[in-house]
Structure 1
Amino acid sequence: MVKKVIFFEVQGGNDKGPDGYRKDTMPMVNALKQRGQDAEVIFFDVTKQDEIFNYVKDHGIAYVSRINPGNLKHEAEYFTMLRELCAMGVIGMPHPDAMIGYGSKDVLSKLVSTNLVPDDTFAYYTMEAFKAQFPTSLANTERVLKQNRGSTGEGIWRVKLVNPLAKGVTEVPLDAEIKCTEAKDNHVEYWKLGEFMTFCEQYITGANGMLIDMRFLPRITEGEIRLFMLRDKPVHVVHKKPADAEDAFSATLFSGAQYRYDAPEDWEELVQNFLIQLPLVTSLLGNYDLPLIWTADFMLDTNGAGEDCYILGEMNCSCVGFTSALTLAHQVAEEILACIAEQTQILA
Structure 2
Amino acid sequence: MSGNVKKVAIVWRGDREARNAATKTNSRYHKIFEELEAAGFAPEPAVFDEAFADDLLRQLHAVDAVLVWVNPLDDGKSRKVLDSLLRQVAEAGVFVSAHPDVILKMGVKEVLYETRHLGWGVDTLVYRSAKEFRGAFPITLRAGSPRVLKRNRGNGGQGVWKVELIEPSAGGETLVTVLEAKAGSVPEKIEPDAFVARCEPYFENGGRIVDQPFQTRLPEGMIRCYMCGDKVVGYGQQLIKALITPLPGSGPEALQPGPRIMHPATATPFQPLRAKMENEWTPQMMSALGVDRRSLPVIWDADFLYGPRDSAGNDTYVLCEINISCVFAIPDDAPAGIARELAWRLGRHPGRGC
TM over 0.5: yes
Instruction: Give the conservation status (yes or no) of the 8 Å contact 2:31–2:335.
Output: yes
Q: 1:4 to 1:296 in 2, by over 3 A?
A: same
Q: Where does structure 2 lack aligned partners over 5 or more consecutive residues?
A: 248-252
Match for residue 116 of structure 2 among 102, 106, 112: 112
Q: 1:290 to 1:162 in 2, by over 3 A?
A: same
Deviation at 1:24? 3.2
Q: Where does structure 1 lack aligned partners over 5 or more consecutive residues?
A: 166-174
Aligned match of 2:282: 278
Instruction: Indicate the RMSD between aligned Cα atoms, in angstroms.
Output: 3.5
Instruction: Give the conservation status (yes or no) of the 8 Å contact 2:233–2:333.
Output: no
The two structures have a TM-score, normalised by structure 1, of 0.81
In 2: Cα distance, 1:194 partner to 1:50 partner: 44
Deviation at 1:150? 4.2
Q: 1:195 to 1:73 in 2, by over 3 A?
A: closer
Aligned match of 1:295: 301
Instruction: Give the conservation status (yes or no) of the 8 Å contact 2:229–2:299.
Output: yes
Q: 1:338 to 1:136 in 2, by over 3 A?
A: same
What do residues 299-343 of structure 1 show as CA deviations (whole Å, max 9, x unaligned)?
1112674753111000110011137x5664233222221221279
User: 1:152 and 2:152 equivalent?
Assistant: no
User: 1:67 and 2:70 equivalent?
Assistant: yes
Deviation at 1:246? 6.9
Instruction: Give the conservation status (yes or no) of the 8 Å contact 2:227–2:234.
Output: yes
Aligned match of 1:92: 96
Aligned match of 1:333: 339
What do residues 42-64 of structure 1 show as CA deviations (whole Å, max 9, x unaligned)?
2345576566545544x422111
The two structures have a TM-score, normalised by structure 2, of 0.80
Percent of pairs identical after alignment?
A: 26
Q: 1:242 to 1:201 in 2, by over 3 A?
A: same
Q: 1:196 to 1:108 in 2, by over 3 A?
A: same
Q: 1:342 to 1:285 in 2, by over 3 A?
A: farther
What do residues 167-225 of structure 1 show as CA deviations (whole Å, max 9, x unaligned)?
xxxxxxxx522222222235111122222212222333x33532211101111111111
Q: 1:87 to 1:327 in 2, by over 3 A?
A: same
User: 1:133 and 2:136 equivalent?
Assistant: yes
Q: SS state of the match for residue 236, structure 1?
A: strand
Instruction: Give the conservation status (yes or no) of the 8 Å contact 1:91–1:343.
Output: no
In 2: Cα distance, 1:11 partner to 1:268 partner: 38
Q: 1:246 to 1:338 in 2, by over 3 A?
A: closer
Aligned match of 1:170: none
Aligned match of 1:218: 216
Q: SS state of the match for residue 23, structure 1?
A: coil
Aligned match of 2:186: 187
Aligned length: 328
Within a 5 Å distance, the mapping from 1:317-328 to structure 2 comes to 317-322=324-329, 328=334
Aligned match of 2:250: none
Q: 1:158 to 1:9 in 2, by over 3 A?
A: closer
In 2: Cα distance, 1:327 partner to 1:270 partner: 18
Aligned match of 1:200: 199
Query: Could you tell me which amino acid in structure 2 is paired with residue 332 of structure 1?
Result: I
Q: SS state of the match for residue 119, structure 2?
A: coil
Match for residue 102 of structure 1 among 106, 123, 138: 106
User: 1:312 and 2:319 equivalent?
Assistant: yes
